[in-house]
A and B are shown apart, each in its own frame.
Chain A
Amino acid sequence: MTSNTVSVSFHGWLGRFELNAQFEVPARGVTALFGPSGCGKTAVMRCIAGLNRLNGGFCAVAGDVWQDEKHFRPVHQRPIGYVFQEASLFPHLSVRSNLMYGHPSKTAPGAIAFEEVVALLGIDKLLERSPRNLSGGERQRVAIGRALLTQPKLLLMDEPLSALDQMTKDEILPYLERLHGALELPILYISHDMAEVQRLADQLVLMRDGRVLAAGSLVDLQADLSLPLALSRDAAVSLDAMVVAQDATDGLATLEVVGGRFFVPAEPLQPGESRRLRVLADDVSLAREQPSRSTIVNVLPARILSIRSQADHRVTALLGLGQDGAGARLLSRVTERSWNELDLKPGLDVYAQVKGVALVRREEPSA
């Protein structure tokens, strides 16, 4: 069995908490474990690492079985990198010694090199210092570097940014994005912050009360009306787009997604670049005819695919871009009254007016 997936199944009690989690996601890119606090994200990650042991559990990464009915591989024999919520550096060692603690003495060709990690995380000036004298952001970067240098096959990150203030978060996020781009390393990333997830994740595992609600690609799960994600206050879709043009006079970049084009104000982008767009459901309104004069630059033909009414008298609609609705998915949230006044229903062709498009910074793998 050499399936290139992360496949886990854990059932049982951890103290007073019942875990009933099972999912399988591709072992590539960033997989976000997402859910409210206390839903068992950390428990799942600790079970994968072997820090917690649930008998009868199953865990296999890229065809390598770490735990099944009979076997339980101890933590120190699993090829993981683990970044805790708090950096958890060794205070009695220098930054350099911390980084080298788990670095194998002999590395295979193509291994993650010390210099590479130091440059990637921008920690070259900290090497001889003590972790005690580092800022929160610096500590967390060293912790990430320390985990990477163990040459992991799976990087586990348990809310590495949650203990940090917004400024420090913004300082670290680019490093994480770079990491994603520069290394062919699957990452499992815990977060309860949707903005963070939208920026980093490729796949999503949605959790609640110790159970997995759904697992799949971020784009698919965001557009699934049966999941709580699409009904949440900040419901949004992520769209993978390609830059096709950049207008130097008014600063609008043209980005193409399947079935449509968006105009986005942006710093100069190179045509051919891949970017991720985020469109909030609240920012998409619907019209039956193409509006003739409007300040909204992004008006795209789309088809209503399905709808879901909410308790607060609003309707969330799933749209498919393009005349036949076969393109990328969008969510639109409108009031029940306007829904009824316009006599909207699934199957209808409409115009989606997109008030706001966020460019989620993202560097694609160079390879």
Chain B
Amino acid sequence: MRRVSNHEATEFVSGSFICDCPAWRGSVGVIRVLRAMNLSSDIWQPIRLTLQLASLTTIILMLVGTPIAWWLARSKRWWKEAVAAFVAIPLVLPPTVLGFYLLVALGPSGPGGFLAALWGARTLAFTFPGLVIGSVLFSMPFVVQPIRNAFEAMGDRPMEAAATLRASPRRAFWTVAVPLASPGFLTGSILGFAHTVGEFGVVLMIGGNIPGRTQVLSVAIYDYVETSQWTEASVLALGMVVFSFCVILTMMLIEKKVARFAS
């Protein structure tokens, strides 16, 4: 089969997005085009791995980040802002720094090595579980902050009202706090997911570049460029652009809806 030039490929892909209005026809078209381009078959591997990593990270962040956000929003302890700052460090820390410490922590002589020994492995570095741990820490502020904001915006009153209506703290949390903070949860999960998809530095430091195991999208693009596989690189890059656009658009629509909701 003939190889499509980069230029043509981008034309095809973007064209199919704009012209075919129904989404399914668009995506069918994209797949057909991608097939026709005869890309190296392992281009799907980093995509699948990235989606797995981002999904798992988002789920874990929801479970871990929600209680942290709740505590940060409700606690009256003076040192809670120190905890908040600690959680937010990855916002400003160079990813390589976080990656470096994670590498040490996950390695054979760190706690990660101890943990890995439980199932007979030597280290958590350069493994998928290691990537998940790194992503959770790296994307934590993007999930905790919106949820915390949503809990704070709610104020004390709904929880007080629920308590005077005989709701136990647990019931009040699930039936009042969570529904009222749902825009925060949505924002947090979208941001957490998207940010995990986009991480590069941390992954490179602790995951390396093992195809099928730790090679995620962002690293794969880098790799394709290094090996002059421009077609693959540009398909992935364009996909990321479209994905990022969708994420931002969704966030804006949510915010607009919330604003209307609140008025």
Interface residues of A (CB under 8 A from B): 49-51, 74-77, 80-82, 84, 86, 88, 90-92, 101-102, 104, 146-147, 150
Task: Compute the total of residue contacts between A and B using a CB distance below 8 Å.
Answer: 56
Known A76-B164, A84-B161; further 13 A-B contacts with Cβ < 8 A: A50-B163, A51-B160, A75-B160, A75-B163, A75-B164, A82-B164, A84-B157, A84-B160, A86-B157, A90-B158, A90-B161, A90-B180, A101-B167
Question: Is residue B109 within 8 Å, beta carbon to beta carbon, of the partner chain?
Answer: no
- 13 A-B interface contacts by CB (under 8 A): A49-B164, A51-B163, A74-B163, A76-B169, A86-B157, A88-B158, A88-B160, A90-B161, A101-B167, A102-B165, A102-B166, A104-B166, A150-B164
Residue pair A101, B165 in contact (C-beta under 8 Å) = yes
Q: Which of B133-181 contact A (CB under 8 A)?
A: 157-158, 160-169, 172, 175-176, 179-180
3 shortest interchain CB distances as A-B pairs: A102-B165, A82-B164, A75-B163
CB-nearest residue of chain A to B164: A82
Residues of B within 8 A of A90 (CB): 158, 161-162, 176, 180
Q: A76-B168, A102-B166, A102-B167 are in contact. Are A92 and B161 (CB under 8 A)?
A: no
Residues of B within 8 A of A150 (CB): 164-166
Q: Shortest beta-carbon distance, B86 to chain A, in Å? A: 28
Q: Shortest beta-carbon distance, B158 to chain A, in Å? A: 7
CB-nearest residue of chain B to A152: B164
Residues of B within 8 A of A86 (CB): 157
Residue pair B164, A92 in contact (C-beta under 8 Å) = no
Q: Kindly state the separation between the CA atoms of A45 and B105 in the bound complex, as whole angstroms.
A: 53
Residues of A within 8 A of B168 (CB): 76
Q: Kindly state the separation between the CA atoms of A49 and B162 in the bound complex, as whole angstroms.
A: 12
Interface size bracket, B side: 10 to 19
Q: Kindly state the separation between the CA atoms of A74 and B166 in the bound complex, as whole angstroms.
A: 10
Residues of B within 8 A of A88 (CB): 157-158, 160-161
Residues of A within 8 A of B157 (CB): 84, 86, 88
Residues of A within 8 A of B165 (CB): 76, 101-102, 146-147, 150
Residue pair A76, B167 in contact (C-beta under 8 Å) = yes
Residue pair B161, A76 in contact (C-beta under 8 Å) = no
Q: Kindly state the separation between the CA atoms of A138 and B94 in the bound complex, as whole angstroms.
A: 55
Q: Kindly state the separation between the CA atoms of A334 and B176 in the bound complex, as whole angstroms.
A: 57
CB-nearest residue of chain B to A88: B161
Residue pair A76, B179 in contact (C-beta under 8 Å) = no
Residues of B within 8 A of A49 (CB): 164
Q: A76-B169, A88-B158 are in contact. Are A81 and B164 (CB under 8 A)?
A: yes
Residue pair B176, A76 in contact (C-beta under 8 Å) = no
Residues of B within 8 A of A80 (CB): 164
Q: Kindly state the separation between the CA atoms of A88 and B160 in the bound complex, as whole angstroms.
A: 9
Residues of B within 8 A of A81 (CB): 164
Residues of B within 8 A of A104 (CB): 166
Q: A102-B166, A102-B167 are in contact. Are A82 and B179 (CB under 8 A)?
A: no
Q: Kindly state the separation between the CA atoms of A102 and B160 in the bound complex, as whole angstroms.
A: 13
Residues of A within 8 A of B179 (CB): 92
Residues of B within 8 A of A91 (CB): 180, 261
Q: A51-B160, A84-B161 are in contact. Are A92 and B180 (CB under 8 A)?
A: yes
Residues of A within 8 A of B161 (CB): 82, 84, 88, 90
CB-nearest residue of chain A to B179: A92
Q: Shortest beta-carbon distance, B257 to chain A, in Å? A: 13
Q: A90-B176, A91-B180, A92-B179 are in contact. Are A76 and B158 (CB under 8 A)?
A: no
Residues of B within 8 A of A82 (CB): 160-161, 164
Residues of A within 8 A of B164 (CB): 49, 51, 75-76, 80-82, 102, 147, 150
Q: Kindly state the separation between the CA atoms of A50 and B175 in the bound complex, as whole angstroms.
A: 21
Residues of B within 8 A of A92 (CB): 179-180
Q: Shortest beta-carbon distance, A267 to chain B, in Å? A: 39
The residue in A84, A92, A147 that gathers the most chain B C-beta atoms within 10 A of its C-beta is: A92
